[in-house]
Amino acid sequence: MGLDVSMAVCYALPVLVSLLVVRFAYVKYCSGHPHLKLPASAAGMRCLIVLGSGGHTAEMVNVVSTLQKDRYTPRYYVAALTDNMSLQKARVYELSLVQREVDKEKAIENAQFVQIYRSREVGQSYFTSIATTLLATLHTMWIIIRIRPQVILCNGPGTCIPLCVSSFVLKVLGLGWSSIFYIESIARVKKLSLSGLMLYKLRIADQFFVQWPQLQKKYPRACYAGRLM
Amino acid sequence: MGDGERRMVFVTVGTTCFDALAKAVDSELVNEALLQKGYTHLLIQMGRGTYVPSKVTGNSTLQVDYFTFSPSIADYIREASLVISHAGSGSIFETLRLSKPLIVVVNEDLMDNHQSELAEELAERKHLFCAHPQTLQKTIEAMDLTALQPYVPGDAKPVVTLINKFFGFPVD
Protein backbone atom coordinates (compact mmCIF):
# COMPACT_ATOMS: atom_id res chain seq x y z
CA MET A 1 0.00 0.00 0.00
CA GLY A 2 2.75 2.41 1.05
CA LEU A 3 4.65 1.35 -2.06
CA ASP A 4 1.66 2.17 -4.29
CA VAL A 5 1.40 5.68 -2.89
CA SER A 6 5.10 6.37 -3.33
CA MET A 7 4.95 4.94 -6.85
CA ALA A 8 2.03 7.22 -7.67
CA VAL A 9 3.91 10.19 -6.28
CA CYS A 10 6.97 9.20 -8.31
CA TYR A 11 4.93 9.29 -11.50
CA ALA A 12 2.73 12.26 -10.68
CA LEU A 13 5.43 14.60 -9.42
CA PRO A 14 7.47 14.85 -12.65
CA VAL A 15 4.28 15.36 -14.62
CA LEU A 16 3.13 18.09 -12.25
CA VAL A 17 6.54 19.78 -12.27
CA SER A 18 6.78 19.72 -16.04
CA LEU A 19 3.25 21.11 -16.32
CA LEU A 20 4.26 23.97 -14.05
CA VAL A 21 7.44 24.54 -16.04
CA VAL A 22 5.49 24.66 -19.29
CA ARG A 23 2.95 27.00 -17.75
CA PHE A 24 5.79 29.16 -16.37
CA ALA A 25 7.34 29.37 -19.83
CA TYR A 26 3.96 30.23 -21.33
CA VAL A 27 3.38 33.03 -18.80
CA LYS A 28 6.89 34.36 -19.48
CA TYR A 29 6.23 34.23 -23.20
CA CYS A 30 2.98 36.16 -22.77
CA SER A 31 4.52 38.86 -20.59
CA GLY A 32 4.73 42.09 -22.51
CA HIS A 33 1.64 41.25 -24.54
CA PRO A 34 -1.94 41.77 -23.39
CA HIS A 35 -3.55 38.50 -22.41
CA LEU A 36 -6.95 39.03 -23.94
CA LYS A 37 -8.08 41.17 -26.78
CA LEU A 38 -10.47 43.59 -25.19
CA PRO A 39 -13.88 44.13 -26.68
CA ALA A 40 -14.37 47.73 -27.72
CA SER A 41 -16.95 48.24 -25.00
CA ALA A 42 -14.98 46.71 -22.13
CA ALA A 43 -16.74 47.41 -18.87
CA GLY A 44 -13.50 48.44 -17.23
CA MET A 45 -10.47 46.70 -15.80
CA ARG A 46 -9.82 46.15 -12.13
CA CYS A 47 -6.77 48.26 -11.30
CA LEU A 48 -4.41 47.85 -8.40
CA ILE A 49 -2.50 51.06 -7.74
CA VAL A 50 0.45 50.80 -5.36
CA LEU A 51 1.20 53.94 -3.36
CA GLY A 52 4.13 54.83 -1.13
CA SER A 53 5.61 57.70 0.84
CA GLY A 54 8.59 59.75 -0.28
CA GLY A 55 7.18 61.14 -3.51
CA HIS A 56 5.85 57.83 -4.89
CA THR A 57 2.22 58.75 -4.32
CA ALA A 58 2.49 62.17 -5.98
CA GLU A 59 3.88 60.54 -9.14
CA MET A 60 1.21 57.85 -9.10
CA VAL A 61 -1.62 60.37 -8.70
CA ASN A 62 -0.29 62.12 -11.81
CA VAL A 63 -0.58 58.85 -13.74
CA VAL A 64 -4.04 58.03 -12.40
CA SER A 65 -5.35 61.52 -13.15
CA THR A 66 -4.36 61.01 -16.80
CA LEU A 67 -5.94 57.55 -17.09
CA GLN A 68 -9.33 57.22 -18.76
CA LYS A 69 -11.40 56.50 -15.65
CA ASP A 70 -14.07 54.48 -17.47
CA ARG A 71 -11.49 52.02 -18.81
CA TYR A 72 -9.52 51.65 -15.60
CA THR A 73 -12.19 50.99 -13.02
CA PRO A 74 -12.69 50.00 -10.23
CA ARG A 75 -9.45 51.26 -8.73
CA TYR A 76 -7.92 49.63 -5.65
CA TYR A 77 -5.32 51.78 -3.94
CA VAL A 78 -2.80 49.93 -1.80
CA ALA A 79 -0.38 51.39 0.76
CA ALA A 80 1.58 50.16 3.75
CA LEU A 81 -0.24 49.98 7.06
CA THR A 82 2.12 52.55 8.60
CA ASP A 83 1.65 54.99 5.74
CA ASN A 84 -1.35 57.14 6.62
CA MET A 85 -0.75 59.96 4.17
CA SER A 86 -0.78 58.09 0.86
CA LEU A 87 -4.29 56.62 1.00
CA GLN A 88 -5.59 59.94 2.28
CA LYS A 89 -4.13 61.68 -0.79
CA ALA A 90 -5.72 59.09 -3.09
CA ARG A 91 -9.05 59.51 -1.32
CA VAL A 92 -8.91 63.28 -1.75
CA TYR A 93 -8.13 62.78 -5.42
CA GLU A 94 -11.00 60.30 -5.97
CA LEU A 95 -13.48 62.57 -4.21
CA SER A 96 -12.31 65.49 -6.35
CA LEU A 97 -13.49 63.55 -9.41
CA VAL A 98 -17.06 63.69 -8.16
CA GLN A 99 -18.91 66.90 -8.74
CA ARG A 100 -22.16 66.38 -6.92
CA GLU A 101 -22.47 65.47 -3.27
CA VAL A 102 -25.08 62.74 -4.00
CA ASP A 103 -22.61 60.85 -6.21
CA LYS A 104 -20.03 60.45 -3.47
CA GLU A 105 -21.33 57.00 -2.48
CA LYS A 106 -20.95 55.79 -6.03
CA ALA A 107 -17.45 57.21 -6.26
CA ILE A 108 -16.36 55.17 -3.29
CA GLU A 109 -17.65 52.04 -5.06
CA ASN A 110 -15.30 52.77 -7.94
CA ALA A 111 -12.36 53.38 -5.67
CA GLN A 112 -11.30 51.25 -2.75
CA PHE A 113 -8.46 51.67 -0.32
CA VAL A 114 -6.48 48.75 1.01
CA GLN A 115 -3.76 48.67 3.64
CA ILE A 116 -1.04 46.09 3.53
CA TYR A 117 1.38 44.70 6.12
CA ARG A 118 4.98 45.62 5.60
CA SER A 119 7.48 42.78 5.59
CA ARG A 120 9.93 44.84 7.59
CA GLU A 121 9.84 48.15 9.37
CA VAL A 122 12.95 50.30 9.52
CA GLY A 123 15.06 49.10 12.44
CA GLN A 124 13.14 45.88 13.05
CA SER A 125 15.20 42.93 14.32
CA TYR A 126 16.26 40.24 11.89
CA PHE A 127 14.58 37.44 13.79
CA THR A 128 11.09 38.96 14.00
CA SER A 129 11.39 39.97 10.34
CA ILE A 130 11.01 36.33 9.32
CA ALA A 131 7.59 36.11 10.93
CA THR A 132 6.43 39.49 9.66
CA THR A 133 7.66 38.74 6.12
CA LEU A 134 5.65 35.53 6.14
CA LEU A 135 2.60 37.35 7.42
CA ALA A 136 3.02 40.10 4.84
CA THR A 137 3.39 37.59 1.99
CA LEU A 138 0.24 35.70 3.00
CA HIS A 139 -1.66 38.94 3.35
CA THR A 140 -0.55 40.11 -0.09
CA MET A 141 -1.51 36.77 -1.65
CA TRP A 142 -4.95 37.11 -0.09
CA ILE A 143 -5.35 40.65 -1.43
CA ILE A 144 -4.37 39.58 -4.94
CA ILE A 145 -6.74 36.58 -4.83
CA ARG A 146 -9.59 38.72 -3.51
CA ILE A 147 -9.17 41.60 -5.95
CA ARG A 148 -7.84 39.62 -8.92
CA PRO A 149 -6.52 42.81 -10.54
CA GLN A 150 -6.25 42.97 -14.32
CA VAL A 151 -3.90 45.94 -14.20
CA ILE A 152 -1.19 46.65 -11.62
CA LEU A 153 0.44 50.07 -11.57
CA CYS A 154 3.47 50.66 -9.37
CA ASN A 155 6.47 52.95 -9.17
CA GLY A 156 8.86 51.55 -6.66
CA PRO A 157 7.89 51.40 -2.98
CA GLY A 158 8.99 48.11 -1.38
CA THR A 159 5.36 46.98 -0.99
CA CYS A 160 5.09 46.50 -4.75
CA ILE A 161 7.46 43.51 -4.80
CA PRO A 162 5.31 41.00 -2.86
CA LEU A 163 2.25 42.24 -4.77
CA CYS A 164 3.87 41.74 -8.17
CA VAL A 165 5.43 38.40 -7.26
CA SER A 166 2.11 37.12 -5.84
CA SER A 167 0.25 38.10 -8.97
CA PHE A 168 2.92 36.39 -11.08
CA VAL A 169 2.59 33.18 -9.05
CA LEU A 170 -1.18 33.28 -9.53
CA LYS A 171 -0.66 33.70 -13.26
CA VAL A 172 1.52 30.58 -13.33
CA LEU A 173 -1.10 28.69 -11.32
CA GLY A 174 -3.76 29.89 -13.73
CA LEU A 175 -5.75 31.67 -11.03
CA GLY A 176 -5.83 35.09 -12.65
CA TRP A 177 -4.09 37.36 -15.07
CA SER A 178 -2.75 40.83 -14.41
CA SER A 179 -0.66 43.07 -16.62
CA ILE A 180 2.01 44.84 -14.58
CA PHE A 181 3.19 48.35 -15.40
CA TYR A 182 6.21 49.57 -13.53
CA ILE A 183 7.30 53.20 -13.68
CA GLU A 184 10.60 53.79 -11.91
CA SER A 185 10.46 56.81 -9.61
CA ILE A 186 11.83 60.11 -10.92
CA ALA A 187 14.26 60.13 -7.99
CA ARG A 188 16.21 57.34 -9.71
CA VAL A 189 18.49 59.00 -12.22
CA LYS A 190 21.52 56.73 -12.44
CA LYS A 191 20.48 53.42 -10.93
CA LEU A 192 17.24 51.49 -10.56
CA SER A 193 15.74 51.05 -7.10
CA LEU A 194 15.90 47.60 -5.54
CA SER A 195 12.23 47.01 -6.46
CA GLY A 196 12.85 48.19 -10.01
CA LEU A 197 15.96 46.08 -10.41
CA MET A 198 14.15 42.95 -9.19
CA LEU A 199 11.19 43.41 -11.53
CA TYR A 200 13.55 44.21 -14.41
CA LYS A 201 15.80 41.21 -13.86
CA LEU A 202 12.94 38.79 -13.19
CA ARG A 203 11.06 40.24 -16.20
CA ILE A 204 7.85 40.27 -14.22
CA ALA A 205 6.67 43.68 -15.44
CA ASP A 206 4.85 43.74 -18.78
CA GLN A 207 6.00 47.28 -19.40
CA PHE A 208 8.86 48.93 -17.59
CA PHE A 209 9.26 52.71 -17.71
CA VAL A 210 12.09 54.94 -16.52
CA GLN A 211 11.93 58.73 -16.26
CA TRP A 212 15.44 59.63 -17.39
CA PRO A 213 16.98 58.86 -20.79
CA GLN A 214 20.39 57.99 -19.30
CA LEU A 215 18.72 55.26 -17.22
CA GLN A 216 17.09 53.82 -20.34
CA LYS A 217 20.53 53.55 -21.97
CA LYS A 218 21.70 51.48 -19.04
CA TYR A 219 18.62 49.23 -19.01
CA PRO A 220 17.71 48.76 -22.69
CA ARG A 221 14.51 46.79 -22.08
CA ALA A 222 13.10 49.80 -20.21
CA CYS A 223 11.07 52.44 -21.97
CA TYR A 224 11.58 56.19 -21.61
CA ALA A 225 8.39 58.18 -22.12
CA GLY A 226 9.14 61.45 -20.38
CA ARG A 227 8.86 62.60 -16.78
CA LEU A 228 5.80 62.34 -14.55
CA MET A 229 6.70 65.32 -12.35
CA MET B 1 14.81 96.85 -3.20
CA GLY B 2 12.94 99.10 -0.74
CA ASP B 3 13.90 99.24 2.91
CA GLY B 4 10.70 97.75 4.25
CA GLU B 5 10.57 94.85 1.80
CA ARG B 6 10.31 91.42 3.35
CA ARG B 7 12.42 88.76 1.66
CA MET B 8 12.00 85.46 3.38
CA VAL B 9 14.18 82.38 3.16
CA PHE B 10 12.23 79.21 3.90
CA VAL B 11 14.14 76.15 5.06
CA THR B 12 12.37 72.76 5.00
CA VAL B 13 13.50 69.30 6.10
CA GLY B 14 10.14 67.61 5.42
CA THR B 15 9.27 64.76 7.76
CA THR B 16 12.91 63.84 8.26
CA CYS B 17 15.43 64.65 10.95
CA PHE B 18 18.17 66.74 9.41
CA ASP B 19 19.95 68.58 12.23
CA ALA B 20 23.02 69.25 10.09
CA LEU B 21 20.90 71.52 7.86
CA ALA B 22 19.20 73.29 10.78
CA LYS B 23 22.63 73.90 12.34
CA ALA B 24 24.10 75.10 9.05
CA VAL B 25 21.38 77.69 8.34
CA ASP B 26 21.48 78.83 11.96
CA SER B 27 25.23 79.55 11.81
CA GLU B 28 26.48 83.12 11.83
CA LEU B 29 28.33 82.73 8.53
CA VAL B 30 25.23 81.55 6.66
CA ASN B 31 23.10 84.28 8.29
CA GLU B 32 25.66 86.83 7.20
CA ALA B 33 25.68 85.45 3.65
CA LEU B 34 21.86 85.64 3.47
CA LEU B 35 21.88 89.25 4.76
CA GLN B 36 24.48 90.14 2.14
CA LYS B 37 22.14 88.79 -0.54
CA GLY B 38 19.36 91.02 0.75
CA TYR B 39 17.21 88.51 2.61
CA THR B 40 15.45 89.79 5.74
CA HIS B 41 13.78 86.76 7.29
CA LEU B 42 14.71 83.13 7.87
CA LEU B 43 11.99 80.58 8.64
CA ILE B 44 13.03 77.03 9.48
CA GLN B 45 10.73 73.99 9.34
CA MET B 46 12.76 71.60 11.47
CA GLY B 47 10.69 68.39 11.31
CA ARG B 48 11.76 65.73 13.76
CA GLY B 49 15.13 67.37 14.33
CA THR B 50 16.40 67.93 17.86
CA TYR B 51 18.55 70.97 17.15
CA VAL B 52 16.59 74.08 18.12
CA PRO B 53 17.67 77.24 16.30
CA SER B 54 17.79 80.52 18.21
CA LYS B 55 14.93 82.89 17.46
CA VAL B 56 16.11 86.37 16.51
CA THR B 57 13.97 89.48 16.26
CA GLY B 58 14.99 93.07 15.62
CA ASN B 59 15.19 95.31 12.63
CA SER B 60 18.89 95.56 11.97
CA THR B 61 19.59 91.87 11.53
CA LEU B 62 18.26 88.71 9.85
CA GLN B 63 15.13 87.63 11.71
CA VAL B 64 15.02 83.95 12.51
CA ASP B 65 11.97 81.85 13.39
CA TYR B 66 11.18 78.13 13.32
CA PHE B 67 8.42 75.52 13.64
CA THR B 68 8.29 71.71 13.51
CA PHE B 69 5.49 70.68 11.11
CA SER B 70 2.76 72.23 9.05
CA PRO B 71 0.05 70.53 6.99
CA SER B 72 0.68 72.90 4.11
CA ILE B 73 4.29 73.64 3.28
CA ALA B 74 3.14 75.14 -0.04
CA ASP B 75 1.91 78.34 1.64
CA TYR B 76 5.36 79.00 3.06
CA ILE B 77 7.06 78.22 -0.25
CA ARG B 78 4.72 80.64 -2.00
CA GLU B 79 5.64 83.35 0.48
CA ALA B 80 9.39 82.74 0.22
CA SER B 81 11.97 84.48 -1.96
CA LEU B 82 14.39 81.57 -1.60
CA VAL B 83 13.83 77.97 -0.50
CA ILE B 84 16.52 75.81 1.08
CA SER B 85 15.31 72.21 1.16
CA HIS B 86 16.29 68.64 1.93
CA ALA B 87 16.66 66.41 -1.14
CA GLY B 88 13.21 64.76 -1.00
CA SER B 89 11.48 64.76 -4.38
CA GLY B 90 8.23 66.07 -2.86
CA SER B 91 9.67 69.40 -1.67
CA ILE B 92 11.90 69.72 -4.73
CA PHE B 93 9.06 69.49 -7.25
CA GLU B 94 6.68 71.53 -5.11
CA THR B 95 9.22 74.38 -5.06
CA LEU B 96 10.04 74.10 -8.77
CA ARG B 97 6.35 74.10 -9.62
CA LEU B 98 5.94 77.37 -7.72
CA SER B 99 8.99 78.72 -9.63
CA LYS B 100 10.98 79.65 -6.52
CA PRO B 101 14.79 79.72 -6.41
CA LEU B 102 15.92 76.58 -4.64
CA ILE B 103 19.03 75.30 -2.91
CA VAL B 104 18.87 71.58 -2.17
CA VAL B 105 21.07 70.41 0.69
CA VAL B 106 21.96 66.73 0.55
CA ASN B 107 21.81 64.80 3.82
CA GLU B 108 25.02 62.81 3.95
CA ASP B 109 23.89 60.84 7.00
CA LEU B 110 21.24 58.89 5.10
CA MET B 111 22.13 55.25 4.52
CA ASP B 112 20.77 54.84 1.02
CA ASN B 113 21.63 58.17 -0.44
CA HIS B 114 19.97 57.87 -3.81
CA GLN B 115 18.29 61.23 -3.20
CA SER B 116 21.41 63.17 -4.15
CA GLU B 117 21.06 61.73 -7.70
CA LEU B 118 17.94 63.77 -8.38
CA ALA B 119 19.30 67.00 -6.88
CA GLU B 120 22.58 66.68 -8.80
CA GLU B 121 20.81 65.97 -12.09
CA LEU B 122 18.47 68.96 -11.67
CA ALA B 123 21.44 71.15 -10.63
CA GLU B 124 23.28 70.11 -13.79
CA ARG B 125 20.23 71.19 -15.78
CA LYS B 126 20.34 74.54 -13.89
CA HIS B 127 16.92 74.18 -12.27
CA LEU B 128 18.33 74.50 -8.76
CA PHE B 129 21.53 74.73 -6.74
CA CYS B 130 22.87 71.69 -4.93
CA ALA B 131 24.91 71.95 -1.72
CA HIS B 132 26.08 70.05 1.33
CA PRO B 133 25.64 71.35 4.88
CA GLN B 134 29.28 72.48 5.04
CA THR B 135 29.24 74.15 1.59
CA LEU B 136 25.93 75.98 2.05
CA GLN B 137 27.53 79.33 2.89
CA LYS B 138 29.73 79.24 -0.24
CA THR B 139 26.76 78.23 -2.38
CA ILE B 140 24.70 81.16 -1.12
CA GLU B 141 27.57 83.60 -1.69
CA ALA B 142 28.25 82.31 -5.19
CA MET B 143 24.68 81.78 -6.42
CA ASP B 144 23.40 83.75 -9.39
CA LEU B 145 19.62 83.49 -9.49
CA THR B 146 19.50 84.71 -13.09
CA ALA B 147 21.39 81.58 -14.16
CA LEU B 148 18.47 79.35 -13.13
CA GLN B 149 16.35 77.81 -15.89
CA PRO B 150 12.60 77.47 -15.34
CA TYR B 151 11.46 73.87 -14.86
CA VAL B 152 8.85 72.55 -17.27
CA PRO B 153 6.71 70.06 -15.33
CA GLY B 154 6.50 66.52 -16.67
CA ASP B 155 3.46 64.94 -18.25
CA ALA B 156 2.01 61.47 -17.66
CA LYS B 157 0.29 61.37 -21.09
CA PRO B 158 3.02 59.52 -23.03
CA VAL B 159 3.14 56.77 -20.38
CA VAL B 160 -0.65 56.45 -20.30
CA THR B 161 -0.79 56.37 -24.10
CA LEU B 162 1.61 53.43 -24.13
CA ILE B 163 -0.46 51.63 -21.48
CA ASN B 164 -3.59 52.20 -23.60
CA LYS B 165 -1.79 50.92 -26.69
CA PHE B 166 -0.76 47.81 -24.79
CA PHE B 167 -4.41 46.96 -24.20
CA GLY B 168 -5.40 47.92 -27.72
CA PHE B 169 -7.55 50.85 -26.68
CA PRO B 170 -8.04 53.44 -29.38
CA VAL B 171 -5.65 56.36 -28.93
CA ASP B 172 -7.51 59.59 -28.39
Q: Which region, left, alpha or beta, applies to residue B81 given φ > 0 means left and ψ of -120 to 50 means alpha?
A: alpha
Rounded distance between C-alpha atoms, residue B46 and residue B13, angstroms: 6
A205 in Cβ contact with A179 (< 8 Å) = no
* Closest residue of chain A to B114, computed from CA coordinates: A188
**Percent helix, strand, coil in chain B (nearest 5)?**
40, 15, 45
Q: Which of A38, A68, A207 sits opposite B162 (nearest CB)?
A: A207
CB contact B120 to A (< 8 Å): yes
Tell me what the mean pLDDT of segment B148-165 comes to: 96
B164 with A71: Cβ contact below 8 A:
yes
Rounded distance between C-alpha atoms, residue A178 and residue A47, angstroms: 9
Burial annotation A63-83 (CB, 10 A radius, 16+ → b, else e): bbebbeeebbbebbbbbbeeb
Is residue B1 in a domain?
Answer: no
The SS3 assignment for B53 reads coil
Residue-by-residue DSSP string for A172-218: HTTS---EEEEE--TT-SSS--HHHHHHHHHT--SEEEESSHHHHHH
Is residue B140 in a domain?
Answer: yes
What Rg do the C-alpha atoms of chain B give, in angstroms?
18
Which chain B residues have a beta carbon less than 8 Å from that of A65?
A: 156
Q: Which of B157, B162, B168 sits opposite A223 (nearest CB)?
A: B162
pLDDT for B32: 94
Give residue B63's identity as a one-letter amino acid code: Q
CB contact B98 to A (< 8 Å): no
A62 with B156: Cβ contact below 8 A:
yes
Is residue B150 in a domain?
Answer: yes
The SS3 assignment for A111 reads strand
Tell me what the mean pLDDT of segment B124-131 comes to: 98
Is residue B2 in a domain?
Answer: no
CB contact A218 to B (< 8 Å): no
The complex's ipTM works out to 0.90
A38 with B169: Cβ contact below 8 A:
yes
A71 with B158: Cβ contact below 8 A:
no
Which chain B residues have a beta carbon less than 8 Å from that of A58?
A: 89-90, 93
A66 with B160: Cβ contact below 8 A:
yes
What Rg do the C-alpha atoms of chain A give, in angstroms?
20
Is residue B172 in a domain?
Answer: no
User: With 50 as the cut, is the pLDDT of residue B72 above it?
Assistant: yes
Please list, in sequence order, all residues whose beta carbon lies within 8 angstroms of the beta carbon of residue A8, skipping any fewer than 6 positions away. none
A229 with B157: Cβ contact below 8 A:
no
Domain range for residue B83?
8-167
Domain count, chain B: 1
CB contact A155 to B (< 8 Å): no
Q: Which of B118, B167, B172 sits opposite A186 (nearest CB)?
A: B118
- Average pLDDT over all residues of chain B: 92
pLDDT for A40: 47
Q: How many helices and strands (H and E) does chain A possess? A: 8, 7
Give residue B109's identity as a one-letter amino acid code: D
Chain B interface, mutation test: which of A189, A190, A197, A212, most B Cβ atoms within 10 Å? A189
Name the minimum distance, in Å, from the CA of B40 to any CA of chain A. Answer: 31
A188 in Cβ contact with A157 (< 8 Å) = no
Chain A interface, mutation test: which of B110, B152, B160, B169, most A Cβ atoms within 10 Å? B160
Name the minimum distance, in Å, from the CA of B116 to any CA of chain A. Answer: 9
Give the pLDDT of chain A (229 residues) as one tens digit per residue.
Answer: 567 888 888 888 889 999 999 988 888 888 887 766 555 456 799 999 999 987 899 999 999 999 999 999 999 999 999 888 899 999 999 988 887 666 666 666 789 999 998 776 666 777 887 888 888 889 999 999 999 999 999 998 888 888 999 999 999 998 889 999 999 999 999 999 988 999 999 999 999 999 999 999 999 999 999 999 9
CB contact A227 to B (< 8 Å): yes
Distances (CA, A) of B32 to B40, B52, B116: 11, 19, 27
A179 with B117: Cβ contact below 8 A:
no
* Cis amide bond preceding A74, omega within 30: yes
Share of chain B above pLDDT 70, in %: 95
CATH code, domain carrying B31: 3.40.50.2000
Rounded distance between C-alpha atoms, residue B28 and residue A204, angstroms: 53
CB contact B118 to A (< 8 Å): yes
Length of chain B (residues): 172
CB atoms within 10 A of CB A218: 12
User: With 60 as the cut, is the pLDDT of residue B3 above it?
Assistant: no
CB contact A92 to B (< 8 Å): no
